[in-house]
Structure 1
C-alpha cells in the first residue's frame, strides 16, 4: 500500500538538444509503486519544455539562477515551500548542486529533504582536481590542468606536460578536442566566455567512451549502478542513443569508487576504455544524468531509490539489470497555448 503523496521539487526541465536530467528523473519517480508524487517544477527559463509537460509536472515556479545570489534563491524556495509544502528537492544541474549543498541544512530545518554529495565530495571530483582525486582513490585519470589563459596551454605543451590532441573543458559543461595550438586557443575562448574560468586542459586518451549511472547511500554502499555505451552522439557531445552493457568490470570499478569516496547521491562516471582494457576516469558528474531513464527501464529505478533515501527509508541495493536495453532520444513538437506561456513569463508560475 502506498504512503502519503510526496511533494517533490525538481529542476533541470530543459528537455532540448542538450537535455537536463529533470524529465527523465520525473519519469522514474512517476513509475514508483512505493509512493505517490506531486511534481513541482523549478524552471530557470520561460521556454524550458518541462513546465508545459503536464503529464509529468503538476506545478511550475520560476526560480532565479544561483549566480544571482544564494539568498535570492533561498527566498524563492521559501515562498514555493509555503505554497506547496515541499518534501524533497532534487537539483539536476552541475552549476546549482554547490548552492543546494550549502543550503541543505537550512532546507532540512524547513522540512525539505535533499540527498546530495558532501561539499568535500563535490569539490574533490572537480575536473581541475581530477589528478589528485585519482591518486587518492587509486584510479587512473588523464593528466589535467586548470588554466586561466590560452598562453598557459602553450606553456604546458612547451614544458612537455601534455601533447596534442588535448581536450579543452568548461568547469561545468562543454568539451572540445583540440588538435593544435590554434584550435586550443579558439576552444579556450569559446568555453571561458560561456562558463568562466578556469578552463580545464586534459590529455586526450584514445579509446571507447563508456558511462555508468550510479547511486551511493553515503556510507560506501552502492544502491545501484548501470553501465552504458553511447550509440549516437550529437555535435554537443550528448548521447542521443545508448545501450546497457554486460560489463562486470565497470560495475566492480563503480562499487570500489563509491566505497572509497563514500559517495552520497547520484553520479555519472564518464570513462575511457583503452585498447588494452584499462579504464580511465575522465569526469564525475555529481548528479543523475539525462539518460537515467535507461537505468529505470533496465530494472533499476534510481530516482525512486533517491527519494526513499532522502526521506530516511532503508533501500535494498539493486542486484541486476537488463542487458542490451537501448534508448533512442527523439525530438517532438509540443504545442502550448500563449496563455500558459504568458502566465509563466509574467507571474513566474504555471
Structure 2
C-alpha cells in the first residue's frame, strides 16, 4: 500500500529530563506503515534538542511563546505554512493548547488540520475543576481547592491533613509536609506558571497511568495502561511497564464515552491499598511516554493524524502486556553554526 505523504508540524521537542511528547510522537509517525511524514518542528527555545535531531525532524522554526498572544502565533504559523504547506499540526504542551484551540477554525481555513479537545472539554478537566468533574462523571478524585495566596490555604487548612500536594495549573507538583513547605512550593510554582495554585489531598498508593485517544464521538480509538517503575525527583516516569488492568480500561472508556473526548489524553491515577482508583489529573494531549503505546501495538500518533485528516480509523483491540520502557540520556553533538542559525534566523 502506498503511503500518504503529509507535512506534520508539532511542538514539544524539549527531550530533556522533563521531556515533552514531541520526539516520541515523531518516532511513532516514523514507524507508520501508512503515513510518509515530513516533520516540521515548532521550537520555543534554541536549546531544545529536537531541531538538531535531523534523522527525526526535517525542518524547525522558532515560534512565539503562548503568553505572547494569539496574533503573533498565527502570524508565524502563516509564514511557516506558506513555506512548508502544513497538513496537520500537533501541539504537545498543555500551556499552548488554549491558543491552538482558539485558532482551530482559522487554521482549518488556512488548510491546516488539528485534532484537539473542545474548549469545554479542556476547561472542565482543569486541576482546579477536578472535584466538580468527579461529581459530574462519577469518578473518584482527591479533595482539592484552588488558591491565589498562601493565606487562602491558611483559611481552609482545617479541610486538609498534611501532607498535601501543591500543584501548578499546567505543570509541577510537590508534596508539602507543613505550612512552610506549602509557602515554598506555592511561590516556586507561581513564579513559573502563574496562578491559581491547586492544593490537593495526598492519596497514598501506586501511581498508574493510561494513555488514550478519543474520536470526539464517545469512542475510544486506543488505550494502554502503564505503571511507573522509576520516577524522577520531578515526578516524571523514567521507566514504565504496560499492565493488564480491566478496571483502568473501564474507567478510560467511561470518561471518553461520557465526555466525548476528542484527541489524545493521559489519565494520572493512584491505586490505593484498598484497590480503589483515584484520578488525580487529566492531561489533555498525548504524554511523553506515548512511544511505549506504539511499541505495545497501538500507534496512537498515527491514528491521531488520520483522525485529523478525516481518514477512518478502526479502534485498537489489543496491546502487548509486560512491555517496558526505560528512558536514558544521550549526548547530542551539535555544530555551533546550526545553533547560531536557529538563534539568529529562527529556522533550521
- The answer, yes or no, to whether TM exceeds 0.5 is yes
Match of 1:269 in 2: 267
Match of 1:28 in 2: 28
Deviation at 1:127, TM superposition (A): 0.1
Match of 1:99 in 2: 99
Q: Superposed, which structure 2 residues align to 1:246-257 within 5 Å? A: 246-257=244-255
Deviation at 1:4, TM superposition (A): 3.7
Contact 1:2/1:36 (CA < 8 Å) preserved in 2?
A: no
Match of 2:74 in 1: 74
Gap runs ≥5 in structure 2: none
User: In structure 1, what is the Cα distance between the partners aligned to 2:187 and 2:64?
Assistant: 27
Aligned residues: 348
Does the residue aligned with 1:211 lie in a helix, a strand or coil?
A: strand
Does the residue aligned with 2:103 lie in a helix, a strand or coil?
A: helix
Q: Superposed, which structure 2 residues align to 1:89-128 within 5 Å? A: 89-128=89-128
Moved over 2 A (4+): none
User: In structure 1, what is the Cα distance between the partners aligned to 2:287 and 2:79?
Assistant: 28
Match of 1:56 in 2: 56
Match of 1:43 in 2: 43
The one-character-per-residue Cα deviations of 1:52-89 (angstroms, maximum 9, x if unpaired) are 00011000000000101110000000000000000000
Match of 1:203 in 2: 201
- Structure 1 vs Structure 2 CA RMSD: 0.6
Match of 1:311 in 2: 309
Match of 1:137 in 2: 137
Match of 1:148 in 2: 148
User: In structure 2, what is the Cα distance between the partners aligned to 1:264 and 1:330?
Assistant: 31
Does the residue aligned with 2:270 lie in a helix, a strand or coil?
A: strand
Gap runs ≥5 in structure 1: none
Deviation at 1:3, TM superposition (A): 4.0
| Greater shift in the superposed pair: 143-152 or 83-92 | 143-152
User: In structure 1, what is the Cα distance between the partners aligned to 2:331 and 2:103?
Assistant: 37
Does the residue aligned with 1:230 lie in a helix, a strand or coil?
A: strand
Q: Which of 327, 331, 340 in structure 2 is aligned with 1:342?
A: 340
Match of 2:180 in 1: 182
Deviation at 1:298, TM superposition (A): 0.2
Deviation at 1:248, TM superposition (A): 1.1
TM-score normalised according to structure 2 size: 0.99
